[in-house]
Amino acid sequence: MHQFFTPYQEYPVAFVAELITLLPVVLGSFYFRSLNHDIRFLVVLFFLFFIRDISSNFLAYFQINNLFIYNLFSILELVFLSLIFCYDDTIKVENYRRVIRWLGIACILASVFLYTRSDFSTGDFVIVRLYGIFLTIFFFERALSDVAVKNIVKYPMFWVASGFLLYFCGTFFIFLLSSEVLSSHAEKDTFTLYWDTNLIFYIIFCLLSSVGIYVNRYANNIS
């Protein structure tokens, strides 16, 4: 059993990130029935992130290449990004949703085409981040121009979109250069530096999303 925890001893930031992933999952499970549809999809996404991390750790323990899991989840992430922003209950603009759907479909098809199994799929991760940055900027433009949103800090998607924006902007260049810094051929110290940086931004995303889940109870009384 001691050997099983060796990877966490070598990568403590990864251990913290996996624990923090449980925060929005547990919080979302507690409030699930009262959550808006968009926030429900977010909770499911975090649960899938947790399953991804456990599965990849299991494969890594047996020295089996686990990069295909992260590459597959980058495509799944595109699906959930589309669902989360399409089902925003407060700002109901059909043209807004139509743009999200069609752009999401195009990004998913491009990601499937660029998918690789044996190493980090740089194209897939870059597409996810570009799509996510576009969605969050588009969201803020719509939210801030909508007179119905008077107190945006009590609006769940404000916190979620802020987390997404920080995470995607903060990790864009890391994954753009992933073939060099996150490759199986990268130096261990280089990989650790960039991967830990990615995880720190992910932890911030988890915390901000958890705030969004918590304030969801104010969603029907934003003033």
| DSSP 8-state code for residue 54 | H
Q: What is the pLDDT of residue 221?
A: 57
**135 close to 164: Cβ distance less than 8 angstroms:** yes
Q: What is the pLDDT of residue 5?
A: 45
Q: What is the pLDDT of residue 148?
A: 58
Any idea how long the chain is? Answer: 223
CA dihedral 117, 202, 49, 53 (to 10 degrees): 70
| Cα 162 to Cα 88: distance, rounded to the nearest angstrom | 15
For 24, phi then psi, to 5°, come to -65, -30
| Residue at 214: amino acid letter | Y
Tokens 């864009």 label which residue?
Answer: 172
CA-based Rg of the chain, rounded to a whole angstrom? Answer: 18
| Cα 19 to Cα 109: distance, rounded to the nearest angstrom | 32
Predicted TM-score (pTM) of the model is: 0.91
| DSSP 8-state code for residue 150 | S
Q: Would you list the domain boundaries of the chain?
A: 11-221
Question: Which contiguous run of DSSP H or E holds residue 48?
Answer: helix 37-61
| pLDDT per residue as tens digits for the range 184-206 | 788 889 989 999 999 999 999 99
**59 close to 65: Cβ distance less than 8 angstroms:** yes
| Residue at 150: amino acid letter | K
26, 52, 24: which is closest to 39 by C-alpha?
24
Q: What is the pLDDT of residue 2?
A: 40
Q: What is the pLDDT of residue 74?
A: 95
Q: Which parts of the chain register pLDDT below 50?
A: 1-6, 223
Question: Which contiguous run of DSSP H or E holds residue 124?
Answer: helix 122-145
Q: Give 3-state DSSP helix, strand, coil % of the chain, rounded to 5.
A: 80, 0, 20
| Cα 47 to Cα 24: distance, rounded to the nearest angstrom | 9
**129 close to 164: Cβ distance less than 8 angstroms:** no
133, 109, 134, 129: which is closest to 177 by C-alpha?
129
Q: What is the pLDDT of residue 222?
A: 54
Q: What is the pLDDT of residue 3?
A: 42
**133 close to 169: Cβ distance less than 8 angstroms:** yes
